[in-house]
Amino acid sequence: MRRARRLLTAALLTLPFAFGCTPLVRRHPGPPPPLDPPAEGSPLRDYRGAWHVHTELSHDSGGTLEELCQAANAVGIHFVVVSDHNARRTSESDPETGVTLLHGVEYSTDRGHVVALGDRELHPAHRDSEKLVAAIGSQGGLSIVAHPFWRSDSWRWSDREELITHLEVANLAVDIAEDIGAALFRLPFYLIDSTRALSGLLDRPTAELQLWDRLLAERPVFALGACDAHSRWYIGYETALPLLTTHVLAESKAAADLISAIRNGRCYVAWDVFGTTDGFRYCVENGSGRTEMGGETTWDEATRLRVHVPADARIEVRRNGVPFALATARRWSLPLPGPGTYRLEVYRNETLWILSNPIFVR
């Protein structure tokens, strides 16, 4: 009898999902807040974005572009990078919501998946990765390795990777799929607060960060955080978009400004579900001036790292991939002892909250 009661309870809990019921409550950041004024000495503003999102042009997504823009606006997203499978859209903004749309493509290649951004046309011969990446680069586009450790789609590295300059170091869809047992356990909580229920599946992407540090030892490679939302009936855009975001520091949210900032690594990965990260700043200052994320400067005795986070947090500085300094603070100024590749990991309640792109001190 007790076993039958448990089975009945489980069935009742999962019935809403079988019929496509949405959660009873969703919590999310809300509409995009008024932008903070630029940091002192910088014209840059912080734009919150959803990187790597699919619509009905992808075979495994059911969401429309209109639904995506409405959801993005509702949860406080300023821009969306749409990357449908082997298909491209063209519009650059949604006139109703004001959400900026950056249109890329997720290509399936012989060595894994590549997201192209900033090139001009669709490349139909997409199976050969080397030819594809070369074609994207010839049009001024970026080639980003998507979910580098995802099952059969893991990226198979070669010695000719100089055109790969960006890497998805975190991917929401992979986090959920790799811990499906825990996801099923959270079904009752999902009905109450879908975004919070899924936030418990978000872990520090250790393998991806180790790979990134190995690549950084050879050349500049910049990190992005992929929402990889597909808007299926059980996880809609409003649930997925706030969980993992990529923030871009740019002068405006015009497509050209955002792509330029992404190209130059002037962005950071944020788990905004654990608290808004708007206003995060990280730079290096010395006798040559101020250097933002993704930038390069020459070391002198005045060289200092400066960081500001929106709330007290544990800030870990990594130099050449190795933990170098640690502080619990909201503002921190740290003298740097010499050249290195410096990046930050910021933790809130022992959970990774912010992941900066590096600054290169030569």
Distance separating alpha carbons of residues 79 and 156, to the nearest angstrom:
30
Hey, what's the torsion of the CAs at 308, 311, 314, 316, to 10 degrees? -20
The model's pLDDT over 237-252, given as tens digits with 9 standing for 90+, comes to 998 899 999 999 999 9
- Determine which helix (DSSP H) or strand (DSSP E) holds 201, and give its type and residue range: none
Considering only CA atoms, which of 343, 226, 346 is closest in space to residue 279? 346
**Domain interval for residue 259:** 42-276
On whether residue 37 sits in a domain, the answer given is no
**Would you state the structure tokens that stand for residue 314, as one six-digit string?**
């544990």
The model's pLDDT over 184-229, given as tens digits with 9 standing for 90+, comes to 555 566 566 666 667 777 889 999 999 999 999 999 999 999 999 9
Q: What was the pLDDT predicted at 236?
A: 87
Do 341 and 286 belong together in one domain? yes
Residue that wins the pLDDT comparison between 235 and 146: 146
Do 117 and 173 belong together in one domain? yes
**pLDDT beyond 70 at 20:** no
Distance separating alpha carbons of residues 118 and 139, to the nearest angstrom:
8
The structural domain count of the chain equals 2
Distance separating alpha carbons of residues 93 and 88, to the nearest angstrom:
15
Distance separating alpha carbons of residues 6 and 255, to the nearest angstrom:
52
On whether residue 11 sits in a domain, the answer given is no
Return the CATH number at 325: 2.60.40.10
Last residue of a domain, one of 226, 253, 276: 276
Q: How far is CA 326 from the centre of its chain?
A: 24
On whether residue 175 sits in a domain, the answer given is yes
Q: Which residues, 6 or more positions from 68, have their beta carbon under 8 angstroms from its beta carbon?
A: 53, 55, 80, 82, 231, 237
Do 140 and 286 belong together in one domain? no
Return the CATH number at 245: 3.20.20.140
On whether residue 6 sits in a domain, the answer given is no
Distance separating alpha carbons of residues 223 and 151, to the nearest angstrom:
20
**Would you state the structure tokens that stand for residue 343, as one six-digit string?**
């990046």
Do 271 and 328 belong together in one domain? no
**pLDDT beyond 90 at 332:** yes
Do 286 and 239 belong together in one domain? no
Do 326 and 338 belong together in one domain? yes
Do 218 and 338 belong together in one domain? no
Do 250 and 163 belong together in one domain? yes
On whether residue 1 sits in a domain, the answer given is no
CB atoms within 10 A of CB 159: 5
The residue behind tokens 């290096």 is 284
For residue 358, give Cα distances in angstroms to 136, 203, 211, 274, 291: 24, 21, 14, 22, 11
Specify whether the CB–CB gap between 223 and 357 falls below 8 A.
Answer: yes
Do 268 and 287 belong together in one domain? no
